[in-house]
Structure 1
Amino acid sequence: MSYRTHNCGELCKKDIGKEVILSGWIQTIRNLGSLIFIDLRDYFGTIQLIFSKKLKKQVLELGREFLIKVNGTVVKRKSKNCNLPTGEIEILVYKLDVLNSSPIPPFMIEDETDEEEGCRMKYRYLDIRRNAIKNNLILRHKISLEIRNFLSKNGFLEIETPVLINHTSEGARSFIVPSRMHSGKFYALSQSPQLFKQLLMIGGIDKYFQIVKCFRDEDSRSDRQIEFTQIDCEMAFVEVHDILFFFENFIKYLFKKIKNIQLEPFTLMTYSDAIKMYGTDTPDLRFEIRFVDLNDLVKKQVFKSFQTTKELIIGINISKCSHYTCDQIYSIIEWMKKKQGAQEIFWIKFFPDKTWISSNKKNDENLMNIIQHFEANPGDLLFILLGNKPTEINQLSQLRIEMANKLKMRKPKLFKPLWIIDLPLFEWDEKSKRYKSFHHPFTSPKKEDLHLLEKFPENIRSKSYDLIINGVEIGSGSIRIHDKNIQNLIFKHLGFSIKKIKSEFGFITKAFEYGTPPHGGIAFGLDRLITILEGKENIKDFIAFPKNNEGIDLMVNSPSYLNREKLKEIHL
């Protein structure tokens, strides 16, 4: 028995007259009385079938998503469908077999669907039949192949590392797995292969990579899942410039190979400059709206509009937006207050005729100095925020993005990658009242900043780097500490006890004693990278079986409760 001689996407005009066997799912049925048409779909495409009265009774028992096999002849189609690769032909069916029936599907299996995400995730196996999802999975496969080809050709060795590891208290929350064989003991699912790839470097491996599953018990969102895939890489005997040079070429290669897009040289920006100019360490450079600091100007001159004790006065200039009505501006301000918690927002419209109005009713003749400080052009709209440093910086960053969205500046097919370097080594954790690693405890500090360790640890820069594309963090990495004395010093300033170091990191601190080479690496989010390549935002569409934003798999109903017998077996 043969299920098919051809697939539904390969037949064309030159095949007219051939006897063929096709198998696939019914996309649509059109009953015109004397003739019945069916669009048959498989993995490869769609083709039209035509049935005569002879098979009408059998055809009328069919429904959408029935799986059928047909024998027929390729004939010329009377009314061509130019939107279909097989649109010049159809199959005149003389034999029909039903391979499997189907209930009416919960949503149409079409390229475009308005069905809500929850339903599509519950019936993900049906969603995968849609070209939109199927093509995303094909793209993922192609990118994975190119990643392996590029890295392998450049001397990287693909090595698997353990998934079941020891729990450590640093980093994100881990998923914990109880051990049946060792009562009262637990594994943790690996958040990343970080320590193992460092051990590979100590083991003499020169270049390592792995396309690996990672697990973090964090809240999900459109660009984050609790289980995700990393392109994990590490290299021995490298410094920051080596990593940036190689992996910039790696990303350029993928864009060129997969999308035929030639990326420009990546922008290089320090963390402090990113915060100063954009209020975030993941700035979207597709639009050039930068922060303007007004503090020094306000201190030097008297402005009736800014009689305030606030520590920060910053603003942004929205080019060619003085046509915005007051109602439109107040709608934006209301959004800022409700969604972002903004307190004091000031605006100035600088008209094309070089006159201006502002949100403050006071007759402040010095406001023109503000306009000049912004280097505003006639026709620009200025927003100014007053408040406390961390809060206002974040709020203005959100306003920057909101205005870019309103003005359609974030073009999905434009790509602006940049490296953020010199990120902080430590950050203050208000909850625990201590310093924590900005990345992880094995990130190397810049030697010239080590003298700040005792009094100003928050000012120490690290040998770290993030790759940002269109406002999304695609990759993150660092040069690692390879000197055991520096490593112990960092542990000490993180407040780790000797007991904790030994219990959680003893295996790697021991390994550091055996001639650890200088080394560094980076990990890219594969799901995010593919999503960016396609100009999309939701990584779930590029994962075969994703979780929803609550971390639930609606299809298999996971997580679920265990019965008492199973809990007893694992000593819980």
Structure 2
Amino acid sequence: MIFPKRTCTCGELRKENENIEVVLNGWVSGVRDLGGLIFIDLRDRYGLTQIVIEPENRPDLAERAKELKSEFVIWAKGKVRLRSNPNPNIPTGLIEVLLEDYGVLNKSQLPPFEIDDSIELQEETRLKYRFLDLRRPSLQKNLILRNELYQIMHKYYYENNFIEIETPFFMKSTPEGARDFLVPSRIHKGKFYALPQSPQLYKQILMISGFDRYVQIAKCFRDEDLRADRQPEFTQIDVEMSFIDEEDIIKMTEGFFKLLWKETLGIDIQTPFQRMSYKDAMEKYGSDKPDLRFGWELKDISDLVNNCEFKVFTDAVNNGGTVAVLNVKGCAETYSRKKIDELTEFAKKYGAKGLAWMKLADGQVNSPIAKFFKKEELDAVIERTEAKDGDLLLFGSDKWTTCFTVLGALRLEIARQTGLLESVRDKFAFLWVVDFPLFEYDEESKRYVAMHHPFTSPKFEDMQFIDDNPGKVRARAYDIVVNGAEVGGGSIRIHDTDVQQKMFKLLGLTQEEANSKFGFLLDALKYGAPPHGGIALGLDRLVMTLAGTENIRNVIAFPKTTSGLSLMDGSPSTVDEEQLKELGIKIINN
């Protein structure tokens, strides 16, 4: 097909372009016939330009234009002129193009929905017709922002002497966390590749190979139970460095964030970022990824209530647990008994058995549990929580982790319900969470598991506890948090074979199992592994943060549903019996 190619895009014409002849290519966004004038809105990814036909002067064009419908693809030729009624809401709002000629490059069926950001659509509909959904300006803006991030990342790490190296998609299955996606081998029947959950092992081997600064935009895959903010395939900025310590990784990452926020949003962020230990984050905010844009710090009151007459509290403390309080400032009247009951049900989702509460009004404590406390005990609680008339106190009492996790979840939920989160949505709060435990104890399997991954180095000063009290060992790990979302995490790695073997043993792996799963890494560590460490930054999450969206599917071109389905192309799908036969696979229907 031969057609007039565009001389400019639909988003670039301004008043300075008055009287020039232009050719535009794009999609018809809408047609409005006002009798004396016919307006055609033409759209491409750069913007929208209004085209006008004057039926009195060009009756032929007016007649032809009756064929134009939404989403027709056309070329349009005309002269730029100033609008008599400017539209200040779009960059091209001062001009329009007086149409001289046009042609239809392709017609469109009636779309199942209008290409308009203001229209609310079912997500299933959007994902089924993703090729139309991606024409919406908001999604195009997000993907353009994503591309900006790519370019900034490439430039920043190149200028800091990093080498981009691609690691394999087909690798050995080493399931220690989430399930692997498995790929059967046709040639080696009965054997499987795994899609990478992370390039972790390969980037460590690159350090051993002498590539002291590696970076990659890596696609990763995890066959885990899905959540609203998770995808089975995701993208991360993968970084590794040799001959460094934590400070080098943190400084390099902060430099990238500073450039990224400046280049994409025009915002100067202050470095270095605040740091907080895992313990402090949990005890102050009930989360290892706290949102610091608002206050509402938790208070531990275990020492104040260990002798009170409220058995729920005393039992928790006497059994080695914790009692803590969230002071929801000024919300006593906002939360009726019915609403507190709803909060109780919410808290139970995070492990709470119930939810004790107190309200302060006119210097008095209103609560069904107040009768179990002496006046001096109540006064002590009020003093520590800095409670005043109009405040609502919510109590957690359980094991340390459960107590603070419940209150942390309530802190965020109430901030959402009261509009507090909405009021700070344009702010950014950056935080490094450090000093994580190296291990956490899994009650189901009755063994220790790695809090991050089994290649994380323990802190030197805690090595004395590793044999007798591994739960006390802290990791040389660090997570970067923005506005309550973990956007990256990393650690200094183990570069000593003996320490790595000890780590595997503590995690319950026999020598044979360790060699079977990780023998290639253990071998590589024997040949002069340098001290090294790195970080993985969640690219999808970063774009979400920059774009100000809470839906991960708004920043990925072709995402899956929460159940892992691709509604547009119908995957996953069945395959031919012949394909299964070639792979030596038989489907068993349970």
* 1:12 and 2:23 matched: no
Contact kept in structure 1, 2:438 and 2:475, CA below 8 Å: yes
**In structure 1, which of residues 358, 367, 370 is the aligned counterpart of residue 367 of structure 2?**
358
Matches within 5 A, 1:393-404: 393-404=404-415
1:294 is matched with which residue?
A: 301
- Cα distance in 2 for partners of 1:181, 1:114 equals 49
2-side partners of 1:260 and 1:377: how far apart?
Answer: 40
Instruction: Tell me which residue corresponds to 2:35.
Output: 33
Tell me the equivalent position of 1:451: 464
Mapping 1:3-402, distance limit 5 Å: 3-51=5-53, 52=55, 53-264=59-270, 265-300=272-307, 302-303=308-309, 308-311=314-317, 312-324=322-334, 326-327=336-337, 329-336=339-346, 339-340=349-350, 342-351=352-361, 353-360=362-369, 362=371, 364-366=373-375, 367-402=378-413
Residue 440 to residue 561, structure 1, CA distance change in 2 (3 Å): same
Distance apart, 1:228 and its partner CA: 0.8
| Residues in 1 aligned to 2:526 and 2:533: alpha-carbon distance in whole angstroms | 18
Q: 1:513 to 1:281 in 2, by over 3 A?
A: same
Give secondary structure in 1 for the equivalent of 2:206. helix
Pick from 455, 470, 476: which aligns with 2:483? 470
Q: CA deviation at 1:18?
A: 2.6
Instruction: Give the share of equivalent positions with the same residue, in percent.
Output: 45
Partners of 1:219 and 1:549 within 8 A in 2: no
* Structure 2: distance between partners of 1:240 and 1:152: 21
Per the TM alignment, residue 564 of structure 1 is displaced from its structure 2 partner at its CA by 0.2
CA RMSD, aligned part only?
A: 2.1
Change in 2 beyond 3 A, CA 1:245/1:5:
closer
SS in 2 for 1:310: helix
* Distance across 2 between alignment mates of 1:188 and 1:559: 17
Q: Answer yes or no: is the 8 Å Cα contact 1:305–1:364 preserved in 2.
A: no
Distance of aligned partners of 1:304 and 1:466 in 2 relative to their CA distance in 1, 3 Å threshold = closer
1:488 to 481, 494, 501: 501
Question: Is 1:538 equivalent to 2:544 in the alignment?
Answer: no
In the alignment, residue 287 of structure 1 is paired with which amino acid?
A: F
8 Å CA contact 1:219–1:551 kept in 2: the answer is: no
Name the amino acid aligned to 1:316. L
Indicate if the aligned counterparts of 2:310 and 2:369 stay in contact, CA closer than 8 A: no
Moved more, 54-63 or 412-421: 54-63
SS of the residue corresponding to residue 412 of structure 1 reads: coil
Listed as ranges, the matches of 1:410-449 within 5 Å are 410=421, 411-449=424-462
With over 3 angstroms needed to count, the CA separation of the structure-2 counterparts of 1:364 and 1:430, relative to structure 1, is closer
Shift of 1:529: 0.8
TM-score (norm 2): 0.92
For the residues of structure 2 that align with 1:337 and 1:460, how far apart are their CA atoms?
30
Aligned partner letter, 1:79: N
Structure 1 CA distance, aligned partners of 2:455 and 2:312?
46
Whole-angstrom CA distance in 2 between matches of 1:38 and 1:307: 69
CA distance in 2, matches of 1:363, 1:546: 53
2:67 partner SS: coil
Does structure 1 retain, via aligned residues, the 8 Å contact 2:347–2:409? Answer: no
- AA of the residue aligned to 2:331: C
Q: How far apart are residue 218 of structure 1 and its match? A: 1.6
SS in 2 for 1:17: coil
The alpha-carbon distance between structure 1 residues 304 and 546, as it changes in their structure 2 partners (threshold 3 A), is closer
Mapped to 2, the partners of 1:2 and 1:26 lie a distance apart of 17
CA apart distance, 1:379? 3.5
1:104 maps to amino acid = L
How far is the alpha carbon of 1:484 from its aligned partner? 0.8
Distance 2:496 2:185 in 1: 35
Matched position secondary structure for 1:172: coil
From the superposition, tell whether residues 338 and 486 of structure 1 become closer, same or farther in structure 2 (CA, over 3 Å).
closer
Distance 1:17 1:211, change over 3 A: same
- 1:86 to partner: Cα distance: 2.1
* Contact 2:350-2:402 within 8 A present in 1 as well: no
**Deviation string, structure 1 residues 369-424 (Cα, Å, up to 9, x no partner):** 32123222344221123344443332211111112223333222111111111112
Q: CA deviation at 1:67?
A: 0.7
Deviation by residue 1:29-58 (Cα, 9 ceiling, x = unmatched): 112234322111112211112222322332
Q: Does 1:500 align with 2:513?
A: yes
3-state SS of 1:141 partner: helix
Question: Whole-Å Cα distance in 2 between the matches of residues 115 and 98 of structure 1?
Answer: 29
2:31 corresponds to which letter in structure 1? I
Change (3 A) 1:273 1:173: same
Partner secondary structure for residue 64 of structure 1 = coil
- 1:57 match: secondary structure: helix
Aligned to 2:588: none
CA displacement, residues 317-353 of structure 1 (integer Å, 9 cap, x when unaligned): 12233443534653554443665563332222223x5
Q: C-alpha offsets along residues 99-151 of structure 1, whole Å, 9 cap, x if unaligned?
A: 10101111111233301111111111111111101111111111111111111
SS in 2 for 1:165: coil
**Is 1:412–1:536's contact at 8 Å kept on the other side of the alignment?**
no
CA contact (8 A) 1:305 1:360 kept: no
Counterparts of 1:162 and 1:168 in 2: how far apart (Å)?
14
| Superposed displacement of residue 177, structure 1 | 0.4
> In 1, are the aligned partners of 2:348 and 2:354 still within 8 Å (CA)?
no
| Structure-2 separation of matches of 1:231 and 1:497 | 33
- Bigger Cα displacement from structure 2, 426-435 vs 412-421: 426-435
Q: Tell me which amino acid in the other structure corresponds to 1:261.
A: I
Distance 2:178 2:349 in 1: 26
SS of 2:503's equivalent in the other structure is helix
Change (3 A) 1:341 1:245: closer
Aligned counterparts of 2:337 and 2:533: Cα–Cα separation in 1: 53
Is the 1:222–1:540 Cα contact (8 Å) retained in structure 2?
no
What secondary structure is seen at the aligned counterpart in 2 of 1:3? coil
Alpha carbons of 1:31 and 1:271: their partners in 2 closer, same or farther (altered >3 Å)? same
1:315 positional shift: 1.0
Question: How far apart, CA to CA, are the structure 1 residues paired with 2:84 and 2:134?
Answer: 32
Distance 2:545 2:337 in 1: 35
